[in-house]
Amino acid sequence: MTTSVCPSASTAAKPAAQHAPYVTRTPYPPYASFSSYVRARGPVLLRTARSLTANPSDAEDLLQTALTKTYVAWDRIEDHRALDGYVRRALLNTRTSQWRKRKVDEFACEELPEPAGVPEPDPAERQVLHDAMWRAVTRLPDRQRAMVVLRYYEDLSEAQTAEVLGVSIGTVKSAVSRALGKLREDPELSPAR
């Protein structure tokens, strides 16, 4: 006895009831009237879906879901003149379900999770300020420039700066103070204040 590789070939002569497990069936029969309804009323229904969501892509997904629900219930809908109402109700129910699911993940609280903050400055303006600051630092006397660079660009403490330069901490404090005073008076930096 040989076994057939293709089950449909060996069961082709049998009645349909006997080889039902081998028959591929779509779960829902195709409805030509549904296709014509979607072609005719699709743009109107899409406008309705867009009124329920802010994003056009979400509106298309919402309409697709509502139309799928309508297709599944197509043979149960008695009055096909009221299809728009059925689809609109499906749109609204689907959107409400989506909203409820999303709402579970969001919690209302008294404080905002992020501070409002100041908007980030323009990177070009930051670069202009950085360049102006560097030019002002290069105009300082050598000793003051070295101390400002070590303190603020290299982020060394006053003690570390004094050790690197071989001077006292008091000398670093006074020289940095005079340098900062000169930088405050620099005309190129005055618009930045």
CB 171 within 8 A of CB 158: no
What's the CA gap between 27 and 93, in Å, rounded? 24
DSSP string, the chain: ----SSHHHHTTTS-TTTTGGG----SS---HHHHHHHHHHHHHHHHHHHHH-SSHHHHHHHHHHHHHHHHHTGGG-S-GGGHHHHHHHHHHHHHHHHHHHHHHT----SS-SS---PPPPPHHHHHHHHHHHHHHHHTS-HHHHHHHIIIIIS---HHHHHHHHT--HHHHHHHHHHHHHHHHH-TTTGGG-
Give pLDDT tens digits for 83-110: 888 899 999 998 888 877 765 556 677 7
pLDDT band at 169 (very low <50, low <70, confident <90, very high): very high
The SS3 call for residue 26 is coil
Confidence of residue 23 (pLDDT cuts 50, 70, 90): very low
Q: What would the mean pLDDT of 8-21 be, rounded to a whole number?
A: 46
What pLDDT score does 4 carry?
44
| 45 vs 15: which has the higher pLDDT | 45
Q: Higher-confidence residue: 168 or 1?
A: 168
Q: Per-residue pLDDT for 151 more than 80?
A: yes
Percent residues over pLDDT 70 in the chain: 76
